[in-house]
Structure formats: C-alpha cells, structure tokens
Amino acid sequence: MTTVITKMITRICLPLAILFSISLLLAGHNTPGGGFIGGVMFVAVVALTYVVYGIKEIKKSFNPDWGNWFGFGLTISALTAFSALPFGHNFFRSAVEFIPIPFVGNLGLVSAGLFDIGVYFVVIGSLLSIFQMVGEDK
C-alpha cells in the first residue's frame, strides 16, 4: 500500500526521468552515457511505477509486450553492425556525417548512435520482461 504523496511524486518524476533517460541515450558518444545506461534509467522509472501503483493497475492503462521492444532493439543493433559489410568495410565500422545547420554549426551524425538506440531498446525490453514475469502471479 502506497500513500497519496508517493503516487503524486511518482507522477511528477515520471516524465522528467524519461527525458533524462533519453538525454543519457543521446549523449552516449560525446559524454558519459549511452544506450545501456539510458535504458537502465528508463527501466528504473517503469519499475518505480510498478512498485507504487502495482502491476495490475498499470496493466489496465499501459501493458506493452516488452519482448517486442527487445526484438526491435536487437534488429536495429544487428542491422547497424552488419551495414558496413556490403560497402567493403569491417564489421561494426562507424560512419560520421556532418550536416551544417545555420546559426548553430555542424551537427555530427554517427551511425554508432543507431547502435546505441538498439541497445536502449534491448535493455528496456529484456529487463522489463524479467520484471513483469517476476511480478506477475501465476
């Protein structure tokens, strides 16, 4: 049983923590962060929500198949890792493209960022599948 205060704080912190998770994901190759720690942060937020509201209450409004998230992330990561081979490059070769943006400068797009996004979804899908299986009464 949780209190009204705990539920209210969770509702306030939920979107902020998800935004922080996404910022960790996007900061991955320039500063500390990346797909793994961003995914773990997202899982921590959803796990807190499960603890505060209960898994039955969450399933009424939000019940994704976390295994699909795992498969989606694994597909993105694998495609990114193998995408350099048809061009005669090594496995996991990263490509960098700079796009000039007026008044801002150059924006560097790195193919390893797609790999990080895949890892993000793999971590979320696998950990939340485990949490959901452990939390359900069967």
Question: Of 35, 44, 26, whose CA–CA distance to 128 is shortest?
Answer: 44
Per-residue pLDDT of 63-102, as tens digits, reads 788 889 999 999 999 998 888 888 787 887 777 888 888 8
**pLDDT (average), residues 115-123:** 92
Name residues whose C-beta falls within 8 Å of residue 91's C-beta, 6 or more positions apart in sequence: 81, 82, 84, 85
Cβ 135 vs Cβ 43: under 8 Å = no
Confidence at residue 58, expressed as pLDDT on a 0 to 100 scale: 77
Q: How far apart, in Å, are the Cα atoms of 37 and each of 65, 89, 124?
A: 21, 29, 10
Asked whether residue 51 carries a pLDDT value surpassing 90, the answer given is no
pLDDT over 70 percentage in the chain: 96
The token pair at 49 is 């929500």
Whole-model pTM over 0.85: no
